[in-house]
């Protein structure tokens, strides 16, 4: 099946209005493409991708805050984290979100990937300030830096992050948030790595170590439900990869294996690299790329494709764990599923 031959259905029927949540029922966009019958147990035949808000520049990093019942997501070029609720729609939550310097820095200076750690803090990858930060959401204490360098060399532009239940963090560091200069873009590290921040001790952030160094564009990152496997998505369009790495007892990773890549994309008639991803409780991977979200089994079999039709950055489980929130170009979307996130 060539997915590029499938026309989008349910096109938006609302007037463009920046940062405004749409009235219920929300307009829909795209199409659910079913490749394997197993998808029917994950997404119902009646499901549609709803557009909750539009008019952003480039949406990223959605994360559901369970104990308070709202969604946070980044608009990277606007250097802003936004908040969404069903009742109030979209409101600004934090600005600046990723660059606190003076003057212009790059086209994508703000926060990118977000997650919530075991302490209930908002963990953010910040492009412009080139760091990973933690900020309490209960109003006590301010933002603090968890890591901004490895062996004294500043990161490039931390992109996406996942928190392990043992208190450690894993994050990717491609160049996308750096200034686009002809010669020296300010790069200090030797490559584009995947890093680990060890658990804090007595309030002191843990040591930083590189765990993957052979990917040229590491981007999305996720853990398996049992936290024994680290997944990393590569956004290089010439070498798209979803990799799986076994986690070792000391927090390092073992030899990686390819879960999905260029061959699978070609079979589906899709182009481009991968961006963000999440995993459901059954171990299925929900990976953004090709203008939507690929649904893969844990072994890399294609179950289906949530075709949105525009560049799609990331996704996150929310509500009771069965709603997939999706950041896609200028849109904030959601899809109600029968899967369960964790």
Does 270 reside within a domain?
A: yes
Domain contains 341: no
Rg (Cα) of the chain, in Å, rounded? 19
pLDDT higher for 150 or 19? 150
Q: What values do phi and psi take at 336, rounded to 5?
A: -85, 125
- pLDDT of residue 24 exceeding 90: no
| pLDDT band (50, 70, 90) for residue 342 | confident
pLDDT at 203: 84
Asked if residue 168 is part of any domain, the answer here is: yes
Taking CA atoms, 300 is separated from 37, 261, 263, in Å, by 15, 9, 11
* Residue 163 CA to its chain's centroid (Å): 13
**Nearest by Cα to 334 from 53, 56, 50:** 50
Domain that holds residue 218: 3-336
**130, pLDDT greater than 70:** yes
Tell me how far apart the alpha carbons of residues 154 and 193 are, in angstroms, rounded to a whole number: 12
**117 is a domain residue:** yes
Average of pLDDT values for 334-341? 98
- Say if 40 falls within a structural domain: yes
Q: Is the pTM here over 0.95, yes or no?
A: no
pLDDT reported for residue 338: 98
Percent of the chain having pLDDT more than 90? Answer: 86
Within the chain, where are the H helices?
262-268
φ, ψ for residue 276 (rounded to 5)? -90, 170
Asked if residues 192 and 204 have their Cβ atoms less than 8 Å apart, the reply is no
Calculate the average pLDDT of the chain. Answer: 92
Q: Is residue 302 part of a domain?
A: yes
Residue 40 three-state SS? helix
Residues whose CB falls within 8 Å of the CB of residue 313, separated by 6 or more in sequence, listed in order: 58, 59, 60, 61, 275, 276, 288, 327, 328, 329
**What pLDDT does residue 141 have?**
79
In total, how many domains does the chain have? 1
pLDDT at 8 over 80: no
pLDDT at 184: 54
pLDDT tens digits, 172-190: 999 999 998 655 568 999 8
Note whether 221 and 194 are within 8 A (CB): yes
- How many CB atoms within 10 Å of residue 77? 17
Q: Model confidence at 202, in pLDDT bands (50, 70, 90)? A: confident
By CB atoms closer than 10 A (0-12, 13-18, 19+), residue 216 is middle
Q: Are 80 and 95 in contact (CB under 8 A)?
A: yes
Q: How confident is the model over 251-301, as pLDDT tens digits?
A: 999 999 999 999 999 999 999 999 999 999 999 999 999 999 999 999 999
Quick check: is 329 in a domain? yes
Distance CA 118, CA 217 (A): 28
What torsion, rounded to 10 degrees, do the Cα atoms 175, 181, 185, 190 define?
60
Q: Where residue 321 sits, what CATH number does that domain have?
A: 2.120.10.30
Predicted pLDDT of residue 181: 63
DSSP 136-181: ESSSSS--EEEESEETTEEPS----EEE-TTS-EEEE--STTS---
How far is residue 166's CA from residue 200's CA, in Å, rounded to a whole number?
10
Is there a domain that residue 342 lies in? no
Evaluate if residue 332 carries a pLDDT over 70.
Answer: yes
């Amino acid at each position: 099946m060539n997915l590029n031959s499938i026309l989008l259905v349910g096109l938006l029927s609302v007037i463009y209005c920046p940062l405004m949540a749409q009235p219920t029922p929300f307009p829909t966009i795209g199409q659910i493409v079913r490749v394997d019958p197993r998808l029917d147990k994950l997404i119902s035949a009646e499901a549609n991708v709803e557009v909750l808000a539009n008019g952003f520049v480039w949406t990223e990093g959605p994360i559901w805050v369970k104990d308070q019942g709202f969604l946070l997501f980044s608009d990277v070029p606007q250097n802003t984290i936004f908040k969404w609720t069903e009742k109030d729609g979209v409101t600004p939550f934090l600005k600046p979100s990723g660059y606190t310097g003076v003057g212009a820095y790059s086209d994508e200076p703000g926060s990118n990937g977000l997650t919530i750690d075991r302490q209930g803090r908002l963990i953010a990858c910040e492009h412009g300030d080139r760091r990973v930060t933690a900020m309490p959401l209960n109003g006590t204490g301010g933002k603090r830096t968890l890591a901004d360098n490895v062996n004294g060399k500043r990161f490039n532009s931390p992109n996406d992050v996942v928190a392990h239940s043992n208190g450690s963090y894993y994050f990717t560091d491609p160049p996308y948030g750096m200034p686009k200069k002809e010669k020296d873009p300010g790069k200090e590290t030797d490559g584009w790595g995947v890093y680990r921040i060890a658990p804090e001790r007595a309030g002191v952030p843990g040591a930083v170590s590189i765990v993957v160094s052979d990917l040229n564009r590491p981007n999305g990152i996720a853990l398996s439900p049992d936290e024994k496997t680290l997944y990393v998505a590569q956004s290089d369009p010439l070498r798209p990869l979803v990799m799986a790495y076994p986690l070792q007892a000391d927090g390092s990773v073992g030899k990686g294996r390819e879960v999905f890549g260029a061959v699978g994309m070609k079979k589906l008639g899709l182009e481009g690299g991968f961006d963000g991803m999440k995993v459901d409780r059954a171990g299925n991977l929900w990976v953004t790329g090709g203008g939507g979200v690929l649904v893969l089994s844990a072994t890399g079999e294609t179950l289906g494709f949530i075709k949105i039709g525009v560049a799609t950055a990331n996704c996150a489980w929310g509500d009771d764990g069965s709603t997939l929130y999706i950041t896609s170009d200028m849109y904030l979307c959601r899809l109600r599923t029968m899967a369960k996130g964790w």
